[in-house]
Homo-oligomer: A and B are copies of this chain.
Amino acid sequence: MYSSIAQANEAIIERIKAARPHWIAVRPAAEAVPVLAQGRKLLHAGPPIAWAQMTGPMRGACIGASLFEGWAATQADALRLLEAGEVEFIPCHHVGAVGPMGGITSANMPVLVVRDTVHGNQACCNLNEGIGKVMRFGAYGDDVQQRLCWMRDTLAPVLQAALETLDGGVDLTALMAQAITMGDEFHQRNIAASALLLRVLAPAITALDRPKTELAAVLRFLSVTDQFFLNLAMAYSKAVMDAAAEIKAGSIVTAMTRNGREFGIRVSGLGDRWFTAPVNTPQGLFFTGYSQADANPDIGDSAITETLGIGGAAMIAAPGVTRFVGAGGMGAALETSEEMEEIYLDHNPLLQIPSWDFKGACLGLDIRRVVETGITPLINTGIAHREAGIGQVGAGTVRAPLPCFEQALEALAEAQGITA
């Protein structure tokens, strides 16, 4: 169908530019991902991984989810269950989902549902819990359980009811186009998008026929959860890249993700195959009392943002974040985006960055360029404590490992009938 890789890549880029994902619903995960409805199953971040290989934060989140689902009454019971292999694990990416950090998502957790109104495909992501001791970073204590229950019983139904009053849901492209001019890169900085989203939601939430205490609690949560929009940016990126992946040719990366051990990528011309290599460990700044020695290796589906070309590649949009992730000031931000520009094929006309003289965010990550230049994608990321039960300890940057791109390029050559 495509006479060259370049032509296929052009078709992919066209689909990325055409996509218009809207946030349309908040649903129990088992509704959005029907496979979760039966038996003990958990979604996890990254390419496939078994319990025995999982690192601390993902294990902690599995314990948290087992307690949340009522599969176990204590941490010890949950561990026994998980070690006995009584829980089935499925990568989020295998079922149209993404999840930050551990990515652990169970049947009764609510998920954000995003629909690409142009191509018709959907993607989902669990909801941001806020910062500190949270399940996605491996915490699972009582406070975590209480918050998860509140999110299921109050936050999710209120958001769903508010969304139902907004005709067509929330146009995320329009919102992100504005937020990227306000310092967001949508991975480690989402405060503008979260605030703009609250502007859309607050009038709708206030008008709902539900107890005021509930509505005020939801608005309080949204008003202090600076990273609330991250999970929407992830579902957005997943929806866009899934639409792009329908062009089953070319050399553009359609997913990048990490499970704490392996970094996995998928490439447009190579379908659903994972190409993996051991993850690096993020370097960055740590909360008081923690240090680099506490950092878990790279983990989470959130690198779907860098797959689209935001996050680390859009560092110049968010010079404020360069300090948060320990990457210097404005000059460093510009250098990062200029370096990333070498491995992406195009710019996104929908996401113009004023501090880049209105150039669009990067778009179309090409494995050929990565291998030719040796430049690997830079990812802005939260840092989880390496042990289960503790949570977030910092934020930083990490590089994707080169070998998965090299393997993918070899496989692409092979698929094209070019053998080394």
Contact = CB atoms under 8 A, between A and B. Distances in A.
A354 B324 CA distance: 12
Oligomer copy total: 2
Contacts of A178: 191
Interface in A333-371: 354-355, 357-358
Nearest to A196: B195
Interface stretch (A204-212, A255-263, A265-273, A377-385): A204-212
Interface residues of A, number: 34
Interface string A219-263: 110111000000000000000000000000000000000000000
B203 A320 contact: no
Contacts of A330: 354-355, 357-358
Contacts of A198: 195, 198-199, 202
A355 B355 CA distance: 7
Nearest to A207: B216
Contact of A183 (B181, B203, B329): B181
A43 interface: no
Contacts of A192: 182, 192, 195
Nearest to A213: B207
A5 interface: no
Contacts of A216: 203, 206-207
Given A196-B195, A206-B212, A331 B319 contact: no
A215 interface: yes
Given A320-B354, A355-B330, A202 B182 contact: no
A180 to B, nearest CB: 10
A371 to B, nearest CB: 33
A95 interface: no
A157 to B, nearest CB: 16
Contacts of A215: 206
A200 B223 contact: yes
Contacts of A213: 207
Nearest to A183: B182
Contact of A206 (B182, B206, B320, B331): B206
A312 to B, nearest CB: 17
A79 B389 CA distance: 73
A202 B200 CA distance: 11
20 contacts: A182-B191, A183-B354, A192-B195, A195-B195, A198-B202, A199-B224, A200-B223, A202-B223, A203-B219, A206-B212, A207-B213, A319-B354, A319-B355, A319-B358, A320-B354, A329-B354, A329-B357, A330-B354, A330-B355, A330-B358
Given A183-B354, A195-B195, A329-B357, 6 more contacts: A192-B192, A198-B199, A203-B216, A320-B354, A330-B357, A355-B355
What 3 A-B pairs come out closest when comparing CB atoms?
A319-B354, A195-B195, A207-B216
